[in-house]
């Protein structure tokens, strides 16, 4: 492994690497989350070693020199998703290129599988038999699928608004489902209490520092697919902040190992009804906790647990945070299907609605943008 240690994002404190590290919540607004650091010179040499075994892989372990594991895990193959061009949509904005990173092509149809692949590898090597997470659906379904494949027991804590579609997916994979009486934030707290009590392995992405390491491979693949060519904008829906925070880290790491020169500007999108990250980036007080409802369930997070990671990354690349309403998201979801042939889940379609907003503010003429289509599961399916 090329890991050199862990940095606590709340304090900047440097800690030695520990494969069992975890950030238990301590009641402060931002949990004491940890970030894995690497020897980038060594990683750059390893990544250029064309004889290395990982070079022939197409999943997240293609990036082994920048992952916190010794060897690829025997897990479902996550990553290696296509970057689909959408010329009909690009034209409307005057963009030179508009690319859709289609994460619905992962084993359980969501970007979450990248994190699960790394988490399950660690759970396996550390001898766990049970894994858990809190989730509006996708993270739990991902964990349930990977646990089914590996023969581990999955405990999924879901909010009371979780759709039948999503609960059916959990049961299909044989997960133990705990439906909370409250929202995602309450399900999260319940999962942490049960996980600590029973000694299960956690797939709660902000608190387990190794999961964002899997998610960042999404950025690595974009850089590789474009041969390091310039991308102006990378847009993703943000709830806890882990996904786009990880993607930002991925782009910085590609620059650190010499695979690209510039950082794209990240745009984090939230639903207008629940937008604590947008408000915080603008220096405003988030609204009252109970405010607002949105159909973008995968980002309906009132108390984001990886806000620091995300906001640091957005700032580092001169990016933006913005909010769109559910009507705009619904229109965007239809346009992705009818003009790009991509069926995105409601939450993921917020990226195209965000592109509309950007285009209203400035000319995107001749630029290149990537939308992260984080998932493709529809809630009306059975």
Residues that bind ligand PLP (CB under 6 A): 110, 112, 138, 205, 237-243, 298-299, 345, 347-348, 374-375
* Nearer residue to ligand PLP within complex by CB, 241 or 286: 241
The least CB distance from residue 3 to ligand PLP, in Å, is: 22
Return the residue matching tokens 């387990």: 208
Rg of the chain, C-alpha, whole Å:
19
Q: Which candidate, 161, 122, 141, 115, places its Cα nearest to that of 1?
A: 122
* Nearer residue to ligand PLP within complex by CB, 47 or 244: 244
Give the bridge partners for 324, in sequence order: 271
The least CB distance from residue 39 to ligand PLP, in Å, is: 27
The least CB distance from residue 159 to ligand PLP, in Å, is: 13
Backbone angle region of 323, left / alpha / beta, with phi > 0 → left and psi within -120 to 50 → alpha: beta
DSSP 297-365: GGG--SS-SSHHHHHHHHHHTT-EEEEE-HHHHHHHHHHHHHHH-----HHHHHHHHHHHHHHHHS--T
The least CB distance from residue 367 to ligand PLP, in Å, is: 23
* Nearer residue to ligand PLP within complex by CB, 260 or 348: 348
**2 close to 66: Cβ distance less than 8 angstroms:** yes
Q: Which candidate, 134, 47, 129, 118, places its Cα nearest to that of 78?
A: 118
The least CB distance from residue 92 to ligand PLP, in Å, is: 23
* Nearer residue to ligand PLP within complex by CB, 44 or 211: 211
The least CB distance from residue 357 to ligand PLP, in Å, is: 17
* Nearer residue to ligand PLP within complex by CB, 6 or 299: 299
* Nearer residue to ligand PLP within complex by CB, 62 or 377: 377
């Amino acid at each position: 492994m090329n890991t050199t240690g862990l940095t606590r994002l709340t304090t900047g404190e440097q800690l030695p690497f520990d494969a069992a590290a975890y950030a238990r919540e301590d009641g402060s607004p931002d949990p004491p989350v940890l970030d894995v650091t690497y020897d980038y010179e060594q990683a750059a040499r390893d990544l250029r070693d064309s004889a290395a075994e990982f070079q022939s892989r197409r999943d997240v372990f293609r990036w082994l020199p920048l992952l916190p594991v010794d060897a690829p895990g025997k897990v479902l193959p996550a990553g290696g998703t296509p970057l689909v061009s959408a010329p009909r949509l690009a034209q409307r904005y005057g963009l030179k290129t508009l690319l859709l990173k289609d994460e619905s092509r992962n084993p359980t149809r969501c970007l979450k599988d990248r994190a699960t692949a790394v988490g399950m590898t660690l759970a396996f090597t550390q001898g766990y038999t049970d894994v858990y997470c809190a989730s509006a659906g996708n993270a739990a379904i991902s964990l349930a699928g990977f646990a089914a494949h590996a023969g581990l027991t999955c405990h999924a804590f879901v909010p009371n608004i979780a759709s039948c579609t999503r609960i059916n997916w959990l049961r299909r994979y044989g997960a133990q489902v705990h439906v909370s009486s409250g929202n995602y934030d309450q399900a999260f707290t319940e999962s942490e209490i049960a996980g600590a009590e029973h000694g299960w392995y956690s797939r709660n992405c902000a608190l387990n520092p190794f999961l964002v390491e899997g998610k960042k491979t999404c950025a690595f693949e974009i850089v590789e697919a474009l041969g390091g060519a310039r991308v102006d904008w990378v847009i993703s829906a943000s709830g806890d902040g882990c996904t786009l925070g990880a993607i930002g880290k991925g782009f910085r790491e590609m620059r650190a190992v010499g695979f690209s020169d510039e950082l794209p500007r990240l745009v984090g999108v939230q639903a207008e009804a629940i937008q604590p990250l947008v408000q915080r980036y603008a220096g405003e007080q988030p609204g009252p906790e109970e405010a607002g409802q949105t159909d973008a369930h995968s980002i309906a997070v009132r108390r984001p647990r990886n806000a620091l990671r995300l906001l640091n990354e957005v700032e580092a690349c001169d990016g933006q945070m913005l909010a769109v309403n559910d009507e705009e998201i619904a229109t965007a979801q239809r346009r992705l299907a009818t003009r790009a042939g991509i069926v995105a889940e409601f939450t993921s379609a917020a990226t195209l609605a965000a592109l509309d907003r950007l285009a209203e503010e400035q000319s995107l003429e001749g630029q290149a943008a990537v939308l992260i289509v984080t998932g493709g599961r529809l809630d009306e399916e059975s």
